[in-house]
Amino acid sequence: MSDRARLLIRRGLPGEPERWDAFEVAFERGQSVLDGLRRIRIEQDPDLAFRFSCINANACKECMMLVDGKVAYACIARLEPREMRLAPLPNKTLVRDLVTEIAPPDERIGNPPQN
């Protein structure tokens, strides 16, 4: 029937001690890492934070993160029946869990327009 992936996810706020939570998630072949993350929120932990808008089309480009140490879009990285490690982008300011600050500086609240 369905496969299972074990997602090991880096959690927490900036400055907190490093913490990894493991989630087992059932999936069908062909599903994406983002599908798995959305399922975890519905079934296990609604508090898990990650960014996305377009779900499936790789159009919004918001779901970029580290998948097994490599930069990838969660919506086009496939879930696999093994342990997969997910972490926030290392070169961006951490917001929480898998979310980093990726907006242009002048489009963030509190920053004046640059142009």
54: Cα within 13 Å, side-chain hemisphere: 13
Task: Say whether residue 5 binds another protein (CB under 8 A).
Answer: no
Asked if 95 touches another protein (CB under 8 A), the answer is yes
Helix or strand holding residue 36 (H, E): helix 33-43
Tokens of 98: 């898998």
Q: Tell whether residue 70 is a contact of another protein (CB under 8 A).
A: no
- Tell me the three state secondary structure of residue 34: helix
The reply to whether 108 sits near another protein by the rule CB under 8 A is yes
Sign of CA dihedral 37, 79, 19, 89: negative
- Say whether residue 69 binds another protein (CB under 8 A): no
**Contacts with another protein, 16-55, as mask; x by CB under 8 A:** ------------xxxxx-----x--xxx--xxxxxxxxxx
Our CB check for another protein shows the closer of 8 and 55 to be 55
Decide if residue 103 touches another protein (CB under 8 A): yes
Contact 84, 68 (CB under 8 A): yes
Query: Is residue 71 involved in binding another protein (CB under 8 A)?
Result: no
